[in-house]
Amino acid sequence: MDDGPALPDSLVLEIFLRLPHDTVLSAGLACRQWLAVSKDEFLWRELFYSYYRIPRSVPRHPASLSWYREFKRLFDCIPCVEVQTLKEHHDQVLHLAFSHRGHRFSSCSKDCTVKLWDTERPDGTITMVHSSSMRQFNWGYTQFSQFNADDTLLLVSGVYLGSHHSSSGEIAVISLENYTLLSRVRNKPYDVFGCWLNETHLISGNLHWIGNMTSCSVLWLNKAFQDVESENVNVVKRLFKIQNINASTIRTVMVAHCRRHDSPDLLLDYEAQGQSQPLSHQPLLFDLGTTDSEEDEEDDEERRREMRLQGLSTAHLPQLTPSGLEHVIQGRHSEASEARELETKWARLMARTHTKAPDPKVLSSAPGDEEDKTYLLFTTGSLTYSPHQIGIKRIMPDQMTTSGPVLGEERSTDEFFDSLDHVIDIHGHIIGMGLSPDHRYLYVNSRAWPAGCVISDPMSPPPIAEEIDLHVIDLKSLREERRSLRAHRAFTPNDECFFIFLDVSRDFVASGAEDKHGYIWDRHYNICLARLQHDDVVNSVAFSPADQELLLSASDDSTIKVWRSPRMVRLAQTPARPPRPRSLLSWLGRNKKTTSVNGKDSWVTHSPVVIFSVGKSHFYLELTVLWLPTHCGTCESWGKPEGGATVLCINVII
């Protein structure tokens, strides 16, 4: 470029617009002009929209400072490079969960263990620090885990050993200080999973069948442990009692703490959440579960009491069986469609007359209202047994503790069911849910029903699509936002569907799939950025809350894979640089040595070696500064001014 006239910048820009981004970056190293053009904002704007195939109507992310940096963020900061494979599990790995600080994560598996892993080793590798087997409690496998807000307790949800159609499960609470079991809580059906409400209380479920297709779900608030000083205080309290129709049940509960949303999306301050007082006494081990026979007696007694309140005899209703799901399957083959329709009409009539009326002010927000709200979210249904609706119930401040009446707020004799505050119909089979870090957005995996389908038989839901839709629901407006994300697939039919766990970070959302891949999307642009390869179904993914460039994926191939971004991989492979001197002038003053040149005083000093890299080549520079007096015979040929001369010698060592 120096041998002839330079091309105009406009022409160079026009050429760069027709090159791929990596070629543009390489061309920018040729000369200063090309370097300046290669950083042009208009250039990177065009490269951004063309490379990622984003509609030009979509604006740049509001937090981005330039198009170049935004391109680099999506290209270089996605955790898509596999750096480690963990093989300590011996069966399908079903779920992964990070602690709020990101220093630990837990994994659940069909091998009936829950394992804890350390992510803060100096060499960057992940190692297992603890493993607990739950087979001694008659568990078939562990399916879900969650850290409490201050990362001192771990909730572990599992499935009991039993018949193929058994729906019973249990929740265990483990102390992370000494890995001891603190409590066990009955959980039915097992796919309620359970969740933390706050640092010390968790939510579980129970199910009571009233008919072949009519049931009642009870959600309980449980204290995770019992202190010596509070041994006479309630450890359980009924939160809600909700009627289910058409063989549907409440499943997959989670808690959203919806705070003020002054920004589009804010990260939670996990450190502030973790500032709670430690336990003052060693908790006592106790079991909140009951035996099967005790539970059946309680179910029968409660059902009779409710029927007496209605003026009905229990002889008018079908008798219960030990397993609700078995009863549904038997009814599917033995009951005629007319009987099902009659039961549905009776259930709807009972719901209208014996359900507490919803309070319209519970979800509404007045202008300027800055009150924090806590929502209980769960999957449910009204048309068929497959979960196709998101139920929302607000938890009031006085319901956050187990103190007070065990059955919660007193109801009148005719109002023994709670109504839902809001319902969002997904029009498809829901197979996964996840909250954004600020709890404003709910992401929902579903497999859609055919458009315009009509469900005439609750036991025969419509066929579901192989494509998985990822819906985005704004919990501030309680409506679905934007278009659904789509890239992942599933193949199992309605009666074999299983939960696929997804996770959401500040900028990205990730999900597993049955097509042996995990997927990562950008939340702002709604584009799929990466596919993560496994050898079998990917059941769960999890971002580190401390670093969204670290992602985990769990699969039926019995492995957990660790993924990091290309940027983090490069940083980990870059050799450490020596410390740079604070100031060259101050260093020269400290390290000069007086010498004699032609009988005249001079001084010389040497700099430390400076290392820099270009590609894979390393260069070492040594700077020598020599001061000589005028006309000393050494520097006369350089034409230095009178009084003295300073000579800089640079030695380059390759």
Q: Of 143 and 593, which is predicted with more confidence? A: 143
Q: Which of the residue ranges 108-117, 355-364, 451-460 would you say has the lowest mean pLDDT?
A: 355-364
Q: Is the pLDDT of residue 606 over 60?
A: no
Q: Is the pLDDT of residue 333 over 70?
A: no
Q: Which of the residue ranges 184-188, 209-213, 426-430 would you say has the lowest mean pLDDT?
A: 209-213
Which pLDDT value is given to residue 370? 61
Average pLDDT, integer, range 34-54: 93
Q: Is the pLDDT of residue 431 over 80?
A: yes
Which pLDDT value is given to residue 73? 94
Of the pLDDT bands very low, low, confident and very high (cuts 50, 70, 90), residue 402 is confident
Q: Which of the residue ranges 85-89, 482-486, 544-548 would you say has the lowest mean pLDDT?
A: 482-486
Which pLDDT value is given to residue 292? 43
Give CA–CA dist 261/546, Å, rounded. Answer: 21
Of the pLDDT bands very low, low, confident and very high (cuts 50, 70, 90), residue 291 is very low
Of the pLDDT bands very low, low, confident and very high (cuts 50, 70, 90), residue 232 is low
Of the pLDDT bands very low, low, confident and very high (cuts 50, 70, 90), residue 234 is confident
> How big is the chain by its Cα radius of gyration, in Å?
33
**pLDDT, mean over the chain:** 78
Which pLDDT value is given to residue 574? 82
Which pLDDT value is given to residue 575? 80
Average pLDDT, integer, range 529-556: 96
Give CA–CA dist 358/584, Å, rounded. Answer: 74
Which pLDDT value is given to residue 259? 78
Residue 605, both tokens: 């000093």
DSSP 139-207: EEEEEEEEE-TTSSEEEEEEEES--TT---EEEEEEETTT--EEEEEEESSGGG--EESSSSEEEEEEE
Which pLDDT value is given to residue 591? 53
